[in-house]
């Protein structure tokens, strides 16, 4: 397979001088986004302690990339307040990046209680641990664009829009946002600076979660059978995983540097780049090659928003952040990663190669 497509340059990159030697506590480092972020932080020279459950399912990006051998890894559940507090105290971090979550909408219908326990109470446990750890200067809580009250009006959400949620996952993220605001105002006002980061749908190599568009398609393409999608008209702001991760790192730098950044932030492509599921699948199939095919099955009735987009003007103006990958690049890089791994490529090497290309000036 050919190398990943060329990159259109835009936006600031994280500062290597800031992260080199900095102690970071990263929750959820065995998840899809967590693995990519752990690799990036290690590349920047940070001293990373990861706290997460054991990798889930096979194949697993955490297992294939051996991420737990690259950072100090602690197996634990954010619902276990005592274990979490001990792990954080032992790490003595300067920065906390909280990514651990139950992140699947459809799973939240099967296990709504567990979803709220992880996403709301777990986030509170992380904030309580931060309160008890004097070394912490800044904390970024990774949220979701689904925290907004979505009535499918076709308007991109800005950070001050009303929170809500018609499904357990979305509601849990709205509740977590309210909890962060309460702890920030009640307990952390004179301590660590805490911000939330709301990102849209991310794609990229190594996500094998069930009931996600790209992993479902890749499994089908790899097996030589047609991919099946449920909601072809649903529109989302698709972005490569490295773009929001770049935003999280820039936000953490800003929190450590100055006041006024401890608020909510959107990270997403321009709303004009939001595309329907059918369009994304068509592009992914074309990028995969070998006449990859797809079709539509009847929707199973689990409600999902028809249209979702965020306005990231605040991050562009105040953080200097902007997506470095357009939609075609994001899909091309994603298809290249999966195809190369499917053909025997090393997961860690593929991550390292895309990180190096992403960082090129």
- Cα separation, 136 vs 349, in Å, equals 32
Q: How far, in whole angstroms, is CA 299 from its chain's centroid?
A: 26
pLDDT tens figures, 58-75: 899 999 999 999 999 999
pLDDT over threshold 70, residue 290: yes
Write down the domain spans for the chain: 16-203+239-272+304-325
Q: At how many degrees (to 10) do helices 32-44 and 242-257 cross? A: 60
Q: Is 301 left (phi over 0), alpha (psi -120 to 50) or beta?
A: left
pLDDT tens figures, 252-284: 999 999 999 999 999 998 877 778 888 888 888
pLDDT over threshold 70, residue 301: no
Q: What is the mean pLDDT of the chain?
A: 91
Q: What percentage of the chain reaches a pLDDT higher than 70?
A: 93
pLDDT tens figures, 123-177: 999 999 999 999 999 999 999 999 999 876 667 899 999 999 889 999 999 999 9
Checking DSSP bridges between strand 227-229 and strand 202-203, what pairing results, if any? unpaired
pLDDT over threshold 50, residue 2: no
Under CATH, to which class is 16-203+239-272+304-325 assigned? alpha beta
Checking DSSP bridges between strand 193-199 and strand 138-142, what pairing results, if any? parallel
pTM beyond 0.85, yes or no: yes
Higher pLDDT, 220 or 6: 220
pLDDT tens figures, 311-337: 999 999 999 999 999 999 999 999 999
- Cα separation, 40 vs 351, in Å, equals 9
């Amino acid at each position: 397979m050919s190398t990943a497509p060329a990159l259109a340059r835009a936006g600031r990159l994280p500062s290597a001088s800031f992260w080199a030697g900095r102690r970071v506590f990263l929750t959820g480092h065995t998840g899809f986004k967590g693995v990519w972020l752990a690799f990036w932080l290690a590349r920047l020279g940070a001293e990373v302690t990861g706290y997460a459950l054991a990798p889930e399912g096979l194949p697993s990006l955490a297992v294939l990339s051996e991420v737990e051998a690259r950072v100090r890894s602690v197996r634990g559940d954010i619902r276990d307040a005592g274990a979490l507090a001990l792990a954080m105290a032992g790490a003595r971090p300067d920065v906390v990046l909280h990514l651990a979550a139950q992140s699947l909408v459809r799973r939240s219908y099967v296990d709504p209680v567990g979803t709220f326990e992880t996403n709301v109470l777990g986030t509170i446990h992380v904030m309580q641990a931060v309160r008890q750890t004097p070394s912490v200067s800044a904390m970024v809580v990774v949220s979701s664009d689904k925290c907004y009250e979505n009535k499918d009006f076709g308007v991109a959400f800005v950070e001050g829009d009303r929170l809500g949620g018609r499904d357990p996952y979305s509601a849990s993220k709205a509740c977590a946002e309210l909890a962060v605001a309460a702890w920030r105002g009640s307990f952390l006002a004179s301590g660590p600076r805490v911000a939330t980061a709301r990102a849209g749908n991310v794609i990229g190599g190594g996500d094998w979660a069930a009931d996600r568009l790209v992993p479902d398609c890749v499994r089908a393409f790899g097996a030589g059978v047609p991919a099946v999608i449920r909601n072809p008209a649903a529109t989302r702001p698709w972005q490569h995983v490295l773009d929001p991760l770049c935003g999280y790192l820039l936000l953490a730098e800003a929190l450590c540097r100055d006041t006024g950044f401890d608020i909510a932030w959107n990270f997403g492509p321009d709303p004009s780049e939001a595309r329907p599921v059918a369009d994304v699948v068509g592009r992914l199939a074309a990028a995969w090659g070998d006449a990859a095919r797809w079709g539509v099955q009847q929707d199973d009735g689990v409600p999902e928003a028809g249209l979702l987009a965020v306005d990231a003007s605040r991050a562009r103006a105040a953080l200097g952040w902007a997506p470095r990958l357009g939609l075609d690049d994001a899909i091309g890089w994603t298809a290249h990663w999966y195809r190369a791994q499917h053909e025997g490529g090393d997961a860690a090497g593929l991550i390292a190669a895309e990180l190096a290309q992403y960082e090129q000036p």
